[in-house]
Structure 1
Amino acid sequence: MTIKAVVWDVDDTIFDYTTADRAGMRGHLAAEGLLDGYASVEQALARWRELTDQQWARFASGETTDWEEARRDRVRAFLDAPLTHEEAEAWFHRYMGHYEAAWALFPDVLPVLDTLAGSHRHAVLSNSSIRVQDRKLSVLGVRDRFESVLCAAELGVSKPAAEAFHAACDALALPPHEVAYVGDHPEIDGQGAADAGLFSVWIDRAGGSAVAVPGGDAAPGRPTDRLVGLRRIVSLGELPGILRPDTRFGAPSTFR
Structure 2
Amino acid sequence: MIRTIAFDVGETLVRDDRHWASWADWLHVPRHTVSALVGAVVAQGKDNAEALRLIQPGLDIPSAYRAREEAGRGEYLDETDVYEDVRPALAALRDAGLRVIVAGNQTVRAGELLRGLDLPSDLIATSGEWGVAKPSAEFFERLIAEADCPAEEILYVGDHPQNDTLPAHAAGLRTAHLRRGPWGHLWAEDSEVIATADYHVNSLMDLLAIASH
TM range, smaller chain: 0.7 to 0.9
Cα deviation 1:71-121 (Å, max 9, x = unaligned): 32x47xxxxxxxxx8x66544x3254xx54685210011111121112200
> Residue 176 of structure 2 aligns to a residue in which SS?
strand
* Corresponding residue for residue 10 of structure 1: 9
> Residue 134 of structure 2 aligns to a residue in which SS?
coil
Change (3 A) 1:111 1:154: closer
Cα deviation 1:218-237 (Å, max 9, x = unaligned): 5xxxxx22233212211111
1:115/1:240 contact within 8 Å kept: yes
**Higher RCO structure (Cα 8 Å, ≥6 apart):** 2
What aligned pairs does 1:92-103 form with structure 2 within 5 A after superposition? 93-94=72-73, 96=75, 99-100=76-77, 103=80
* Corresponding residue for residue 19 of structure 2: 21
Cα deviation 1:198-225 (Å, max 9, x = unaligned): 11011111574455xxxxxx5xxxxx22
* Corresponding residue for residue 49 of structure 2: 53
Question: In the alignment, is residue 181 of structure 1 matched against residue 156 of structure 2?
Answer: yes
1:6/1:123 contact within 8 Å kept: yes
Deviation at 1:151, TM superposition (A): 2.6
What aligned pairs does 1:1-256 form with structure 2 within 5 A after superposition? 2-17=1-16, 19-22=17-20, 24=22, 28=25, 34=28, 38=29, 40-46=30-36, 53-54=49-50, 70-72=61-63, 74=64, 89-91=69-71, 93-94=72-73, 96=75, 99-100=76-77, 103-118=80-95, 119-129=97-107, 131-142=108-119, 145-206=120-181, 208-209=185-186, 211=188, 218=189, 224-227=190-193, 228-230=195-197, 231-245=199-213
Cα deviation 1:125-165 (Å, max 9, x = unaligned): 21223x223222233231xx333333323433321222211
Structure 2 Cα separation of the partners of residues 174 and 56 of structure 1? 38
Identity of aligned pairs, percent? 24
- Aligned pairs, how many? 196
Q: CA RMSD in A?
A: 3.4
Question: Rg bigger for which structure?
Answer: 1
Deviation at 1:23, TM superposition (A): 5.1
Structure 1 Cα separation of the partners of residues 211 and 133 of structure 2? 26
> What TM-score does the superposition give when structure 1 sets the normalisation length?
0.64
Structure 2 Cα separation of the partners of residues 188 and 43 of structure 1? 23
Deviation at 1:196, TM superposition (A): 0.9
1:124/1:150 contact within 8 Å kept: yes
